[in-house]
Amino acid sequence: MSRESPCTGRWRATSAARIRDCRTLDGDGSASRREFSVWVSRIYRVTSVYGELLRAMCPPPPVGVWTDPWRDMGQLSELAAGLGMAPAGMANSGTNPATRAVQIWLTQNLTNRSEHVAAQVCWALVEAMNPETGACLAEGAARHFGLKGAALEYFKIGMKSRRRADRYAGNLLTRIDEDDWRLILEKTLLVSRLMVQLYDSVGERC
């Protein structure tokens, strides 16, 4: 049995009841085009913070992990453009408490020299759920807003690339004592709840 199985297995079992990310878009379509574009800008802001933090790490993470945020920001820009948001809107749209909570978690945990390895495990485990989330969001965006092609690449390509996040988390776990895995699971569930709040904010009135 691989070392990542106890943690990733419990994470997946627990997350099934917690992840409701696609509810608004793939439910009644209650998010307007404007609300959806603002939500995209929030994801862009979180991704930007994550990318900058990875770039400052020493030693740096693997190349694939390091470059993902920058590719994602390009795809998020395409998604925003498909929704009618100008590039300036990505930078100028307001944040919300859910966005700030995730940004604060990333900054506090990834810049802490004694915690950043465990924090990378937690974030990788959260990202490992993205392929499932992306499929639902792509379907909802196509159905309700008529998006296609490059505008959907973030959901169909960017989020699917997180399938390697499980392997990355497993490799990092070999550097952490098994007695600490329970704490990692608890922190993972915490950041998962923060991300659920951020994804659910797609329906907020702006």
Q: What is the pLDDT of residues 16-62, one digit of tens each?
A: 333 333 334 444 446 788 888 989 999 999 999 999 998 888 777 87
**Of 118, 130, 113, which Cα lies nearest the Cα of 165?**
130
- The crossing angle, in degrees rounded to 10, of helices 116-127 and 5-15 is 50
- Residue 24 included in any domain: no
Q: Buried b vs exposed e over 131-147: b needs ≥16 C-beta within 10 Å?
A: bbbbbbbbebbbebbeb
- Residue 27 included in any domain: no
Query: How buried is 161 (Cβ within 10 angstroms: 0-12 exposed, 13-18 middle, 19+ buried)?
Result: middle
- Residue 172 included in any domain: yes
Residue 161 has pLDDT above 80, yes or no: no
- Residue 195 included in any domain: yes
* Mean pLDDT computed over 113-141: 83
- Residue 137 included in any domain: yes
Task: Tell me the C-alpha distance between 93 and 206, whole Å.
Answer: 10
Residue 5 has pLDDT above 50, yes or no: no
- Residue 25 included in any domain: no
Task: Count the domains in the chain.
Answer: 1
- Residue 17 included in any domain: no
Residue 115 has pLDDT above 60, yes or no: yes
Task: Tell me the C-alpha distance between 72 and 59, whole Å.
Answer: 22
Six token digits for residue 20: 């409701």
Q: Is this prediction's pTM over 0.85? A: no
Residue 8 has pLDDT above 80, yes or no: no
Is the separation of the CB atoms in 190 and 155 below 8 Å?
no
Neighbours of 39 (CB within 10 A): 27
Residues, the chain, total? Answer: 206
Residue 142: give the domain boundaries.
5-10+32-203
Task: Tell me the C-alpha distance between 37 and 157, whole Å.
Answer: 19
- Residue 103 included in any domain: yes
Q: Which residues contact 200 (CB under 8 A, 6 or more apart)?
A: 20, 21, 23, 24, 98
Q: Which CATH number fits the domain that encloses residue 36?
A: 1.20.910.10
Neighbours of 158 (CB within 10 A): 22
